[in-house]
Amino acid sequence: MDDALVRAGRALRLVLLTVLAALFLIPFYLLVRNGLATEREITAPGWTFFPHRAHWANVRELFADPDVPMAHALLNSTLIAVATTLGTLLLASLAGYGLARIPCRHANAVFYAVLGTLMVPAAVTFVPSFVLVSSLGWISTLRGLIVPTLFSAFACFVFRQYFLGFPRELEDAAQVDGLGYWRTYWRVVVPNSRPVFAAVGTIVFIGAWNAFLWPLVIGQSRDAWTVQVALSTFTTAQVVNIHELFTAAAVSIVPLLVVFLLLQRYIVAGVERSGIDD
């Protein structure tokens, strides 16, 4: 009796989870369905589950449309996301290692200064940061879109926490071999820390690819549009065909979903490692 109840409960849970999972996948389904449909199929009365024939021509049409600078926006987004990821990894990991391992009188003060910015929502600083970047003359430049975002307190914090737990014996052995901090870091610490670099790197990459407010404020001219700004402009102005818009959105998200699924293990580890609840 009890046993049957437990089994029924388990089955119910599985059914509920399956229904919820299906609901969670609906937006992705809509992206693919509308992205591969013709305008007429999307706006037809009555729901068609999937376009009669997948219209791969939509993708070609999208990149051929001179009014929609999608290829250029994709290029900008790629450059920005790659540069931001590499730059953040380099700067934040060096700083995290220094804070965790190199004794210095100012280490605590610097650490608290980093922690302090973690508590300031980035969005509160967008007006002052805009002021700074505009006085540097960096509006509508890739520099303006990349450089101010390179100093991630979150990444620095994760690296510091990780390096605090790094096995000291490995570093000691390197120092016995006469390596200083610099060479110990590059030859021993970095090669043995690939998972944390992968975790932070993936999170930063996704964040940079999906960022909107900063690129909207800084990337004002068409040449400096990222994918998100381009999509947003066409969504809010509604001057582009619906199917083309959905094709563009699907193109913008597919590479990211692949990265996400492949590196999910690292992302989960990174989220857990951020140690916000310790």
Partner 1 sequence: MTAVTTATTAARNRRKGNHRKRNHTLWFWIFVGPFAAGLALFTYVPLGWSVYLSFFDAHNTVTPSDFTGLDNYAAMLADPAFRSSLATFALFTAFIVPATYALSLALALAVNRLRFAQAFFRSVFFLPAACSYVVAALVWKLSLFNGVRFGLANTVLGWFGAEPVAWLAGTDPPWYWLVLVTVRLWLQTGFYMVLFLAGLQRIPPRLYEAAALDGARPGWQTFRHITFPALRATSVAVVLLLVIGAFQAFDEFYNLLSDARGYPPYARPPLVYLYYTALGQGQNLGLGSAGAVILALVIAVVTVAQARLTGLGRKEE
Looking at residues 130 to 149 of the shown chain, list those that interact with partner 1 (rule: CB under 8 A). 130-132, 134-135, 147-148
In sequence order, what DSSP letters do the residues of 23-86 get, joined into one string? HHHHHHHHHHHHHTS-HHHHHSSS--SS-SS--THHHHHHHH-TTS-HHHHHHHHHHHHHHHHH
Among 8, 71, 115, 271, binds partner 1 (CB under 8 A): 271
Nearer to partner 1, 82 or 122 (CB): 122
Among 1, 4, 24, 176, binds partner 1 (CB under 8 A): 24
Q: Segment contacting partner 1 (CB under 8 A): 51-59, 170-178, 190-198, 203-211?
A: 203-211
Tokens for 231? Answer: 């999509």
**Ranges within 149-188 binding partner 1 (CB under 8 A):** 150-151, 153, 156, 180-182, 185
Asked if 98 is part of the footprint of partner 1 (rule: CB under 8 A), the reply reads yes
Nearer to partner 1, 75 or 254 (CB): 254
**Ranges within 209-248 binding partner 1 (CB under 8 A):** 209-210, 212-213, 216-217, 228, 231-232, 235-239, 242, 245-246
Any idea which residue has 């220094």 for tokens? 98
Nearer to partner 1, 64 or 275 (CB): 275
Residues 259, 239: Cα–Cα separation, whole Å: 31
Count CA atoms closer than 13 A to 151's CA, side-chain side.
8
Q: How far is the CB of 119 from partner 1 (least distance, A)?
A: 7
Asked if 128 is part of the footprint of partner 1 (rule: CB under 8 A), the reply reads yes
Tokens for 41? Answer: 């199929």
Asked if 127 is part of the footprint of partner 1 (rule: CB under 8 A), the reply reads yes
Q: How far is the CB of 194 from partner 1 (least distance, A)?
A: 20
31 near 245, Cβ under 8 Å? no
Q: Segment contacting partner 1 (CB under 8 A): 52-60, 67-75, 167-175, 205-213?
A: 205-213
Nearer to partner 1, 61 or 126 (CB): 126
Tokens for 259? Answer: 């990265």
Residues 157, 112: Cα–Cα separation, whole Å: 10
Q: How is residue 124 annotated by DSSP?
A: G
Q: How far is the CB of 85 from partner 1 (least distance, A)?
A: 15
Asked if 113 is part of the footprint of partner 1 (rule: CB under 8 A), the reply reads yes
102 CB neighbour count, 10 Å cutoff: 10
Asked if 208 is part of the footprint of partner 1 (rule: CB under 8 A), the reply reads no
Residue type, 221: S
Residues 55, 138: Cα–Cα separation, whole Å: 41
Residues near partner 1 (CB under 8 A), total: 96
Q: How far is the CB of 216 from partner 1 (least distance, A)?
A: 8
Q: Segment contacting partner 1 (CB under 8 A): 49-57, 59-67, 168-176, 208-216?
A: 208-216
**Ranges within 67-96 binding partner 1 (CB under 8 A):** 91-92, 94-95
156 CB neighbour count, 10 Å cutoff: 27
The phi, psi pair for 102, rounded to 5°, reads: -100, 120
84 near 77, Cβ under 8 Å? no
